[in-house]
Chain A
Amino acid sequence: MMDAIDRDIINNLQGGFPLCERPYAEAAAGLGLTEDELIRRVESLLENGTLTRFGPMYHAERLGGALTLAAMKIPAEDFERVAKIVNGFPEVAHNYAREHQFNMWFVLATETPLRIGEVIGEIEKATGYTVYNMPKLEEFFVGLRFEA
């Protein structure tokens, strides 16, 4: 279970991890912890799934890559089969089941914008269902920091 120290780590280390020789020591000092304790806590938060990652969050489009959000309408009886096929594409970064006629929503991250269209075609061919491409036309805000 998470305790107050874990919460402190999560609430204060979602950004700004230092770029220096001993960043855990520096971050730990700000939290009133020792370097060893912070490393141990981060490791266990990763192990128990409270954190999905600890490190740099890259911005795909700024690296020359491309991102899009895509959705599919899959009949319930075929959902698991299609999910397996879709998840098998390395370009599929996240995939969520949602309660709606459009019940499968995934993010495609590719190294080139051209590749987005290719992958969508490949997914349609492999699954037999239409992929609805919903690329962002404009982004207004991305900045939620979760409170633990």
Chain B
Amino acid sequence: MSTATALRESKADAAYPPDATDRRLIVATQEGLPRVSRPYHAVAEKLGISADEVMARLQRMLDGGMIRRIGAVPNHYALGYGANGMSVWDVPDARVRELGKKIGELDFVSHCYHRPRHLPDWPYNFFAMVHGRDRAEVEAKVAQIAALLGDADRGHTVLYSTRILKKSGLRLGG
């Protein structure tokens, strides 16, 4: 097991159901932190709790993996990663886990998942998101994945995004 996988699994064990205050904190921060000198104090004031409690709760959610990370979320189109290619693969079910770990280690693969097929329309059970500055870069990376998969690759294609229709991130109702 890779260190990253082990870390994620131990984090999942540390996850706990958010209480009412956690939920208010999530609703207050899911759109982002205030851009002020003391952002946690600003959130605390809004919620009527102390800034120490805000920070302690965020730290606990970070430790429990309920928060993946805190920081900047870039728009990859704005950064010039215009070719967002979703590569989808038909691989033998029995080998998905072994192959997934291998492909997941590639530094140009962002998301990598085993998903269900919808036969006959959709034969693909393995998804690897590949980002590149243009399609040629994505194609070259997809060829690397194909080479790694070898004869486990029973067919693949790449779906390019042409437009973001909506992007709002997680929304928890307040």
Residues of A within 8 A of B (CB): 9-10, 13-17, 19-25, 35, 39, 42-43, 45-46, 48-60, 62-65, 69, 71, 73, 83, 86-87, 90, 92-102, 104-106, 109, 111, 132-144, 146-148
Contacts and interface: CB of A to CB of B under 8 A. Distances in A.
A50 B37 contact: no
Contact of A57 (B17, B69, B171): B69
Contacts, number: 248
Given A20-B55, A21-B40, A24-B39, A57 B73 contact: yes
B41 A21 contact: yes
The main secondary structure of chain B at its interface with chain A is mixed
30 contacts: A10-B72, A19-B62, A19-B70, A24-B39, A51-B72, A53-B31, A53-B32, A55-B29, A55-B71, A56-B29, A56-B58, A58-B61, A69-B113, A69-B115, A92-B166, A93-B169, A94-B168, A96-B161, A96-B163, A96-B164, A98-B160, A99-B162, A101-B121, A105-B86, A109-B170, A134-B116, A140-B101, A146-B76, A146-B131, A148-B74
Given A62-B12, A109-B171, 11 more contacts: A16-B69, A53-B72, A54-B32, A57-B69, A59-B68, A62-B64, A92-B168, A135-B116, A136-B113, A139-B111, A141-B111
B51 to A, nearest CB: 7
A13 B72 contact: yes
A136 B115 contact: yes
Contacts of A135: 115-116
Contacts of B75: 49-52
